[in-house]
Chains A and B, each alone.
Chain A
Amino acid sequence: EVQLVESGGGLIQPGGSLRLSCAASGFTVSTNYMSWIRQAPGRGLEWVSNIYSDDNTYYTDSVKGRFTISRGNSENTLYLQMNSLRAEDTAVYYCARQRPVAGPFDYWGRGTLVTVSS
């Protein structure tokens, strides 16, 4: 059974850093396309970043240069390093598996809440 479990969220001051983790089971992270998608309180979904099986990474414009997506192959875990956090980064962050090449996000975790506030 495919499962994704996010962790690492919390309350952080503006300008701070946080690393989110997404532990996967039932499939191998390194051979799949993986994504981070966020949802601000009361708002819609926003795609944040992808990492593909060929190690290429992609980001939405608002997080370029601040966020880094990566994976730990031995741990079968996806990560999102978030630096220079802003109030507008406040959201529930979901990790999701994506079907190649331009496929849908077929499995999602339950999310972890990041709150950026002083």
Chain B
Amino acid sequence: QSALTQPASVSGSPGQSITISCTGTSSDVGAYNHVSWYQQYPGQAPKLKIFDVNKRPSGVSNRFSGSKSGNTASLTISGLQAEDEADYFCCSYAGTRIWVFGGGTKVTVL
């Protein structure tokens, strides 16, 4: 049950697009389309932004989008805004009712 690999930090200027990668294995990200992404502000609970690779829950801005290729999933934030500055975690189903998270990526809006 190894953690998924995410870059420690990603930054961008307001209005730009950024992409956060999430690399797993053929036993988790590569095997299932159950990848989700969570946004977390300091001291707060995580909030679901993307599920099943590319689906957005009701109320989540369409500036957030997800994709997957092989063992790597990605979260793209377009039209970057100051409020997007937060930590982002990916999560994947790993079979046999087990879940694995990424180490998290700190997004900085320059």
Q: How many A-B residue pairs have CB under 8 A?
A: 64
Contact of A111 among B45, B47, B91 (CB under 8 A): B45
Do A47 and B45 touch (CB < 8 A)?
Answer: no
Taking residues whose C-beta sits less than 8 angstroms from the other chain, chain B's interface range is: 20 to 34
| Cα A50 to Cα B1 with chains together (Å) | 15
State the interface size on chain A (CB cutoff 8 A).
24
Residues of B within 8 A of A43 (CB): 103-104
Given A45-B89, A47-B98, A58-B97, A108-B47 contact (CB < 8 Å): yes
Q: Does A94 contact B (CB under 8 A)?
A: yes
Query: Which A residues form the contact surface with B (CB < 8 A)?
Result: 35, 37, 43-47, 50, 52, 56, 58, 60-61, 94, 99, 102-106, 108-111
8 more CB-based (< 8 A) A-B contacts, given A44-B104, A45-B89, A105-B48:
A44-B103, A45-B91, A47-B91, A47-B100, A94-B46, A102-B34, A104-B48, A104-B91
Q: Does B64 contact A (CB under 8 A)?
A: no
Residues of A within 8 A of B103 (CB): 43-44
- Distance between B12 CB and nearest chain A CB, rounded to angstroms: 21
| Cα A39 to Cα B32 with chains together (Å) | 24
Residues of A within 8 A of B1 (CB): 60-61
- Distance between A60 CB and nearest chain B CB, rounded to angstroms: 6
- Distance between A106 CB and nearest chain B CB, rounded to angstroms: 5
